[in-house]
Structure 1
Amino acid sequence: MRLVIARCQVDYVGRLTAHLPWAKRLLLVKSDGSVSVHADDRAYKPLNWMTPPCWLVENPAEALPADGDVVPADRQLWVVTNKAGEELRITIEDIELDSSHELGVDPGLTKDGVESHLQELLAEHVHTLGDGYTLVRREYPTAIGPVDLLCRAEDGATVAVEIKRRGDIDGVEQLTRYLELLNRDPLLAPVRGVFAAQQIKPQAKTLAEDRGIRCLTLDYDSLRGIESSAFTLF
């Protein structure tokens, strides 16, 4: 990663044009080729940027900045171009910092309570779905993607479970497609559906119930075995 703090002006030329006047900013060049221009506000959002695949050329021969003047000797010109021919032209002067750092491979963000955790916990505590439920398989493969959980109900019926952190209409539609496909298999049919999430939007619940899909609100802390600190009457 390369960090440059300098006074600069920026012009974007592409599907539209945009101009940032002279000011001190942070220029961020990542190993994936992306270039972004940051001010000391707006949290993580850059003022302008170019995402990969793109190419940075510093002080290209015979290049002119957006105002049509030749680049003075005490200035630099960066031209970042993507496959569509769009350009981010950054004219730089008064450089205060220009440093490069090797960060290595990032392991990624690990979130607590993501869908994979909910799936694992619900598979472990499959009785949450109802008395007599047993797990057939996690990530049951189909031609259109894996079903989160395939279970057997107490009466022997097959149950497909779709798990989301926040249940919306798209999740119900996804489960509907799984059910249509699974019900074509005579070894599984009839297959019922359960839409399980920590939060289920009212529109999603209405659609699910209209399609005969049962909704189940999951308590993540309870699945993890953590007692709630809230006072209850019963």
Structure 2
Amino acid sequence: MKYKILEKPECEKAYELVEEALRKRATIILFACCRVEYEGRALSQLNWGERIILIKPDGSFLIHQDKKVEPVNWQPPKSRTRCYLKGDRLMLESHRRTPKELLSVEVRHIQFINYANVEDYEELEQAGYEKDMSDMIMKRPHIIEEGFTPKTREYAVEHGFIDILGKDSDGNLMILELKARKAGVNAVKQLKRYLQDMENTDNAYLKECKVQKKKIRGLLVAPSIMDDALELSEEEGIEFVSVEPPRELKRDKKITLDAF
């Protein structure tokens, strides 16, 4: 990894380092006192304070305070960064073309600035999310109940998308709402809205899959459920099924003779 670091540089030296880093498409980190203005879909202003400024080669521009996970201001990839000097201040600007947005940072009292040419070609692998639960249920529908037949995923209704739509062994319609973490009251309310959407609609899908509208069952599927959510689900006639999301990453899978 090639990198450069300057401690407590004058703004002119910092400007030269940023220009060099932008030419080399390097990742830039500044810890400095700055003031921030944003103009675009809205307007915002952040007065002087010590912050971390992170500029990535893909155009991402992030400003972090000493609290919270999310940046306080940011611009997405494909934004264009430029820098210039204004008196004794270093000015950084991030321009986004569509929609038009401008993030302007006035910098003073730089503690340190560095850039590095980072090499990282790996993609993040994830497990234990709703998508993984959905994949698992589609392959092994019996974990919901014997006789359950899933028909479709991400089915659009007025208030969102039903995670899995299917039918039970008696031909009743089943609406599954999946949560990879402990389910709360909001999950119950969300599922209730989906049930109302299906009950209030002469749905073409029901005709296509020839499911008689005898009964529409709502199932909240999650590892566990909060007490108040369980109480509400029982009041609304919503069923709860405890299912743990799979936790296995692809890289953990080993090829054995069972695969042949």
Same fold (TM > 0.5)? yes
C-alpha separation between the residues in 1 aligned to 2:59 and 2:74?
9
| 2:235 maps to which of 190, 193, 210 | 210
Indicate the residue corresponding to 2:106 in structure 1: 89
Indicate the residue corresponding to 1:139 in structure 2: 153
Q: Answer yes or no: is the 8 Å Cα contact 1:4–1:26 preserved in 2.
A: no
C-alpha separation between the residues in 2 aligned to 1:6 and 1:168?
40
Q: Answer yes or no: is the 8 Å Cα contact 2:155–2:164 preserved in 1.
A: no
Indicate the residue corresponding to 2:10 in structure 1: none
C-alpha separation between the residues in 1 aligned to 2:143 and 2:30?
58
The size of the alignment, in residue pairs, is 202
Indicate the residue corresponding to 1:162 in structure 2: 177
Equivalences for residues 182-193 of structure 1 within 5 A:
182-183=198-199, 184=201, 185=203, 187=207, 188=211, 189=213, 190-193=215-218
C-alpha separation between the residues in 2 aligned to 1:32 and 1:138?
37
Q: What is the TM-score with the length of structure 1 in the denominator? A: 0.66
Q: Note closer, same or farther for the CA distance 1:37–1:115 as it changes in structure 2 (3 Å cut).
A: closer
C-alpha separation between the residues in 2 aligned to 1:221 and 1:94?
45
Equivalences for residues 17-166 of structure 1 within 5 A:
17-20=46-49, 27-36=53-62, 49-52=73-76, 56-59=81-84, 63=86, 70-71=87-88, 77-80=90-93, 87-91=104-108, 97-101=114-118, 107=123, 109-131=124-146, 133-139=147-153, 141-144=155-158, 145-166=160-181
SS in 1 for 2:237: coil
Tell me the amino acid that sits aligned with residue 122 of structure 1.
I
C-alpha separation between the residues in 2 aligned to 1:171 and 1:91?
47
Give the superposition deviation at 1:171: 2.2
Q: Answer yes or no: is the 8 Å Cα contact 1:35–1:51 preserved in 2.
A: yes
Q: Which has the higher helix share?
A: 2
Indicate the residue corresponding to 1:231 in structure 2: none
Q: Highest relative contact order (Cα 8 Å, sep 6+), 1 or 2? A: 2
**Gapped runs of 5+ residues in structure 1?**
64-69, 223-234
Give the superposition deviation at 1:38: 6.5
Tell me the amino acid that sits aligned with residue 3 of structure 1.
T
C-alpha separation between the residues in 2 aligned to 1:12 and 1:150?
47
Does residue 1:9 correspond to 2:33, yes or no?
Answer: yes
Higher mean alpha-carbon deviation, 94-103 vs 189-198, is at: 94-103
C-alpha separation between the residues in 2 aligned to 1:16 and 1:29?
19
**Gapped runs of 5+ residues in structure 2?**
1-24, 39-43, 248-260
**Structure 1 residues 94-153: Cα deviation after superposition (integer angstroms, max 9, x where no partner):** 97644445756x63x32222111111222333223333x231413063344442222322
Sequence identity (%): 21
**Structure 1 residues 35-74: Cα deviation after superposition (integer angstroms, max 9, x where no partner):** 33569x879766x6433486533115xx3xxxxxx22xxx
C-alpha separation between the residues in 1 aligned to 2:144 and 2:32?
59
Q: Note closer, same or farther for the CA distance 1:93–1:158 as it changes in structure 2 (3 Å cut).
A: closer
Tell me the amino acid that sits aligned with residue 89 of structure 1.
E
SS in 2 for 1:141: strand
Q: Answer yes or no: is the 8 Å Cα contact 1:197–1:216 preserved in 2.
A: yes
**Considering only aligned residues, what root-mean-square deviation do their CA atoms show, in Å?**
3.7
Does residue 1:175 correspond to 2:191, yes or no?
Answer: yes
